[in-house]
Structure 1
Amino acid sequence: MCYFEQTRWTCGYWKWGNFRQQCNKEYRTGETCGLKLVYDTTYQSGQCKLCDQIQKKYRRVHKMQTDIARWQREGNRVATIEKTEGDIQEISAQISEIMNQHNERQLKIT
C-alpha cells in the first residue's frame, strides 16, 4: 500500500504518476510493496492521449468519406473507392480498440 501520484483527465482516463510515500509494510529502502494507493490526484483539463488519437482517426475517416463521395460523382475511380472503403474499415477497428482501452481504464478506479 505505497502511495503514488495520479493524473486524471476530464474524460475519466487516469494514469499513475511518481512514487510519493512508502507504506509501513515495506521495510526495504527504495522498494514498494506492490499495492498502489493514491497520494494526490492532479486534474488535467482537456483530453487524454487516447481521446486525441480517437479524434484524429475520426477526422481521417470523415475525410475519406468525403473523398469517396467526390470520387463517386466524378466516376472512373472504382479501385480507389474500394481501397479507401477498406481503409475506413481498418481505421474503424482501430477506433474501437482504442475506445475499449479507454473504457477499461475508466472502470478500473473511479
Structure 2
Amino acid sequence: MCFYNQKRFACGDWSWTNFAHRCHYEYRTGETCGMKLVNVTDYENTQCRLCEKIETKFRRRDAEVERLNRWRREGGTLVASMDRSQRLIMELDREIGKLQIEREDKRSALG
C-alpha cells in the first residue's frame, strides 16, 4: 500500500504520476510493496493522449469525407483520387476503431 499521485484528465481517463511515500509494510530499503493507493489527484483540463489521437483522426476523416463529397458534387474527373480518398477513409475508420478499443481496455483495467 504505497501512495502515488494521480492525474485525472478532462475525458475521465487517469494515470499514475509521482511516487508520494511508502507504507510501513515494506521493510527493504528502496522497495515498494506493489499496491498503489492514491495520495493526491491532480485534475487536468486537457484530454489524454488516446483521446487526442482519436479526435485528430476524426478531424482528418471528416476532411476527407468533405473533400470526397465536394468532388462528387462538382462532377470531378479525378477517379483515382476519389478511390484513394475512399481507401483513406476506410483506413482511418479502422485506426479509430483500434484506438477506441485500446481506450476502453485501458479504462476497464486497473492500474
For 2:12, the equivalent position in structure 1 comes to 12
Give the whole-Å Cα distance in 2 for the aligned partners of 1:97 and 1:34.
30
Is the contact made by 1:14 and 1:105 (CA closer than 8 Å) also made in structure 2?
A: no
User: How much is the aligned-residue C-alpha RMSD, in angstroms?
Assistant: 1.5
Give the whole-Å Cα distance in 2 for the aligned partners of 1:74 and 1:59.
24
Give the whole-Å Cα distance in 1 for the aligned partners of 2:79 and 2:38.
55
CA shift at 1:31, angstroms?
Answer: 1.6
1:91-102 equivalence runs, <5 A: 91-102=92-103
Give the whole-Å Cα distance in 2 for the aligned partners of 1:86 and 1:31.
51
User: Is 1:88–2:79 an aligned residue pair?
Assistant: no
What stretches of structure 1 move > 3 A for 4+ residues in a row? none
CA shift at 1:6, angstroms?
Answer: 0.5
Structure 2: segments with no counterpart, 5+ residues? none
Q: TM-score, with normalisation over the residues of structure 2?
A: 0.86
For 2:42, the equivalent position in structure 1 comes to 42
For 1:64, the equivalent position in structure 2 comes to 64
Structure 1: segments with no counterpart, 5+ residues? none
Q: SS at 1:4's partner residue?
A: strand
Is the contact made by 1:4 and 1:40 (CA closer than 8 Å) also made in structure 2?
A: yes
CA shift at 1:66, angstroms?
Answer: 1.0
Q: SS at 2:34's partner residue?
A: coil
Give the whole-Å Cα distance in 2 for the aligned partners of 1:88 and 1:29.
54
Q: TM-score, with normalisation over the residues of structure 1?
A: 0.87
Q: SS at 1:74's partner residue?
A: coil
CA shift at 1:104, angstroms?
Answer: 2.4
